[in-house]
Amino acid sequence: MTDRKPIESWLTDMDGVLIHEGVPIPGADAFVKKLRESWRPFLVLTNNSIYTPRDLHARLRRMGLEVPIENIWTSALATAKFLDDQRPGGSAYVIGEAGLTTALHDIGYILTDHDPDYVVLGETRTYSFEAMTKAVRLINAGARFICTNPDETGPSTEGPLPATGAVAALITKATGKQPYFAGKPNPLMMRTGLNTIGAHSESSAMIGDRMDTDVLAGIEAGMKTYLVLTGLTRPEQVENFPYRPSEVVDSIADIVDLV
């Protein structure tokens, strides 16, 4: 294996890496502080499209993690960037929360249920049968199907919740149309994120807790990858995948000294 360039930029997943069920993971505060003090470009990523970066900044601050708004990158922002590149000034029927609708408003998209260019499906705690039926009919009428992320379940204090990927499967079954997923593991989310901070993949690292999204996206974007064991992937599961992270560590605390 050829030697990689020194790591100058860091991308890290949020849930399972920095926080877990609303509580910071030990070492997360030191990691974020070290990044800020080093002035290295960095992004905190999440596939969850419910919240705006401003919302997430406030939530992380309440947990003691000071992450600037401009250092937060969501699947909603990646989706909006993709749509703005594909069809500037377009229209969309949106199933989602403020994180997604705000991102689309900010790029000048019209949100409508009348002959939209796209049906855009994101995360929400209140998926309604009426909204899903509307999405099915609009897709059958010619709207293109876009999803913020493929995660089938999301975490909650009560246990797993159905997420975007599960609802997308329902709509696909009803329409026969597969969506385009903008979020992880699509390396598009990594590349657009790197572009926003002026970073390059060959000198960047991705930290995540999931082999099937974080590590895969980092590998496909050409970054060094770190798997932490504080989230969903267990040590014995790593060998089940046909690809490997660059390194496996116990937690974000083990990466602080590498910044």
Report how far residue 227's alpha carbon sits from residue 116's, in angstroms, rounded to the nearest whole number: 40
Cβ contacts of 65 within 8 Å, gap of 6 or more? 18, 19, 24, 28, 29, 32
Instruction: Look up 13 and say whether it is catalytic.
Output: yes
* Euclidean distance between CA atoms 191 and 117, whole angstroms: 24
Cα dihedral 43→182→237→166 (10° resolution): 130
Q: Catalytic: which of 3, 15, 117, 151?
A: 15
Cβ neighbours of residue 155 closer than 8 Å, sequence gap 6 or more: 15, 21, 161
State the catalytic residue, choosing from 3, 13, 84, 113. Answer: 13
Span between the terminal Cα atoms of the chain, in Å: 22
User: What residue type is assigned to position 129 of the chain?
Assistant: F
Catalytic residues: 13, 15
